């Protein structure tokens, strides 16, 4: 079955467009239904780590955006990921931007302008709830705003998603850094961030007592963020009980006639620069997840030295399939 899984995931490498990715996910899911495989990396005592009171089977996770529906995280996770971030979900379903919207680039990179295509938070949570007990790892849920919602009203979208996801999620990631929703990244500016995080914090306190459960909140940061704003973003986040930072999302650019978010090798340098800045001002107060161009064990080690506690991959997995999990988690 492991061999079959490898063959199926091989197609992720060939990814000419979203359809290949979808076929790979559906096939992987089918194989999982037949064989219920489970990676050794989910059971190794020496790899386990605790963050925000949650036990992570290991430090390597799958970044948001591959399972946008909450249907595939179990089979993906059971390949060996210590955590899987599902979504990004918005209050209402969205079809996303027009095609083509995902391309492979040279140098093991991707460009996408998907634009939060997702079935809406209610469907997403329904899917996740019905499957969650089959996965041994941690499930993060990424939330965002609908395209049509103005930045002035955006906090309402985040509150709506927060309420819907709070009980089911192991952690919630606030995605204010996707380059594919117009003006979304302005939410980290002084005009919006304080109000957004204050509203979210007030609601989270209520939800914590209502559900007798604490769900940590993380903020996902753009690699294109204005460097001068980083101290403000970190201080405001810590003031409103943000428990972690995901550094970073994709970087905005134009390649092969597509304007969108660039990931993989071409993102590496910017992601590292942002990690250094966030580590400096965070002063080890919140947990840091490094995401962006982690393609090898050397990349992972470098991020660890720069202050990252956990690691997420996306593009490396698309290019290499499950063998990248082996490489990142092996002892060497
Ligand atoms: C096709 C695609 C879709 C993505 N969708 C999302 C998303 O919905 N939410 C999000 O927070 N990040 C999304 N991302 C960003 C990834 O989660 C990750 O942060 C980024 O790709 C950098 O990691 P990588 O270089 O290992 O790919 C997406 C990335 C790609 C390539």
Q: Is the pLDDT of residue 16 over 60?
A: no
User: Residue 144: CB within 6 Å of ligand 1?
Assistant: no
* 37 CB neighbour count, 10 Å cutoff: 16
Q: Could you give the 3-state DSSP secondary structure of residue 146?
A: coil
Write out the DSSP string of 243-260.
-EEEE--PEEEEETTEEE
Span from the CA of 233 to the centroid of ligand 1 (angstroms): 21
Q: Which residue out of 24, 142, 177, 178 is catalytically annotated? A: 178
Top-confidence residue, 12 or 209: 209
Give the pTM.
0.95
Looking at the domain covering 2-329, what would its CATH class be?
A: alpha beta
Span from the CA of 4 to the centroid of ligand 1 (angstroms): 26
Average pLDDT, the chain: 93
Q: Residue 312: which residues within 8 A CB-CB, separation 6 or more?
A: 60, 61, 62, 63, 85, 246, 289, 290, 291, 294
Q: Is the pLDDT of residue 19 over 80?
A: no
Nearest-CA residue for atom 1 of ligand 1: 112
Q: Which two tokens stand for residue 277?
A: 């800045």
Write out the DSSP string of 148-214.
TS-TTTHHHHHHHHHHHHTTT-SEEEEE---TTSTTGGGGGSTTTHHHHHHHHHHHHHHHHHHHT--
Task: List pLDDT tens digits, range 27-74.
Answer: 888 888 888 778 889 999 999 999 999 999 999 999 999 999 999 999
Q: Could you give the 3-state DSSP secondary structure of residue 47?
A: helix
Nearest-CA residue for atom 22 of ligand 1: 292
178 counts as catalytic: yes
User: Residue 293: CB within 6 Å of ligand 1?
Assistant: yes
* pLDDT of amino acid 6: 64
User: Residue 111: CB within 6 Å of ligand 1?
Assistant: no
Task: List pLDDT tens digits, range 182-215.
Answer: 999 999 999 999 999 999 999 999 999 999 999 9
Is the Cβ–Cβ distance between 221 and 188 less than 8 Å? yes
Q: In angstroms, what CA-CA distances link 34 with 4, 28, 47, 132?
A: 12, 10, 28, 18
* pLDDT of amino acid 3: 65
Find the range with the poorest average confidence among 222-226, 287-291, 319-323: 319-323
What residues does 17 pair with on adjacent strands? none
- CA–CA separation, 28 vs 318, rounded Å? 13
Distance of CA 164 to the CA centre of its chain: 18
Where does the pLDDT of residue 227 fall: very low under 50, low under 70, confident under 90, or very high at 90 and above?
very high
Task: List pLDDT tens digits, range 117-172.
Answer: 999 999 999 999 999 999 999 999 999 999 999 999 999 999 999 999 999 999 99
* pLDDT of amino acid 258: 94
* pLDDT of amino acid 255: 96
Task: List pLDDT tens digits, range 263-313.
Answer: 999 999 999 999 999 999 999 899 999 999 999 999 999 999 999 999 999
Q: In angstroms, what CA-CA distances link 179 with 51, 65, 252?
A: 28, 13, 6
* pLDDT of amino acid 320: 87
Indicate the length of the chain as a whole number: 332
Pocket test for ligand 1, best of 62, 64, 97, 144 (most atoms within 8 A of CB): 64
């Amino acid at each position: 079955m492991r061999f079959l899984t490898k063959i199926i995931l091989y197609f992720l490498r060939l990814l000419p467009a979203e359809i290949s990715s979808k076929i790979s996910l559906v096939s992987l899911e089918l194989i999982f239904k037949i064989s219920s495989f489970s990676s050794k990396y989910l059971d190794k005592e020496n790899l386990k780590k605790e963050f925000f009171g949650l036990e992570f089977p290991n430090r390597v996770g799958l970044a948001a955006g591959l399972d946008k529906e909450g249907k595939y995280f179990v089979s993906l996770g059971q390949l060996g990921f210590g955590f899987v971030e599902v979504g990004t979900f918005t209050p209402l379903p969205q079809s996303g931007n027009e095609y083509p919207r995902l391309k492979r680039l040279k140098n093991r990179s991707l460009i996408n302008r998907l634009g939060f295509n997702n079935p809406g938070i209610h469907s997403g949570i329904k899917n996740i709830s019905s499957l969650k007990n089959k996965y041994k790892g941690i499930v993060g849920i990424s939330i965002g705003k609908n395209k049509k919602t103005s930045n002035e009203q955006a906090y309402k979208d985040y509150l709506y998603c927060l309420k819907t996801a709070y009980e089911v999620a192991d952690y919630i990631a606030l995605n204010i850094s996707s380059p594919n929703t117009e003006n979304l990244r302005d939410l980290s500016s002084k005009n919006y961030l304080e109000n957004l995080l204050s509203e979210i914090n007030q609601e989270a306190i209520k939800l914590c007592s209502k559900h007798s459960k604490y769900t940590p909140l993380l903020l996902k940061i753009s690699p294109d963020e204005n460097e001068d704003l980083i101290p403000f973003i970190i201080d405001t986040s810590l003031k409103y009980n943000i428990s972690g930072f995901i550094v970073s999302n994709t970087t905005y650019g134009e390649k092969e006639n597509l304007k969108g978010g660039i990931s993989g090798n071409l993102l590496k340098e910017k992601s590292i620069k942002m990690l250094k800045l966030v580590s400096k001002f965070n002063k080890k107060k919140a947990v840091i997840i490094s995401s962006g161009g982690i393609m090898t064990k050397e990349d992972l080690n470098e991020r660890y030295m720069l202050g990252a506690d956990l690691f997420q991959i996306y593009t490396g997995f698309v290019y290499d399939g499950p063998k990248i999990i082996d490489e990142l988690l092996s002892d060497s």
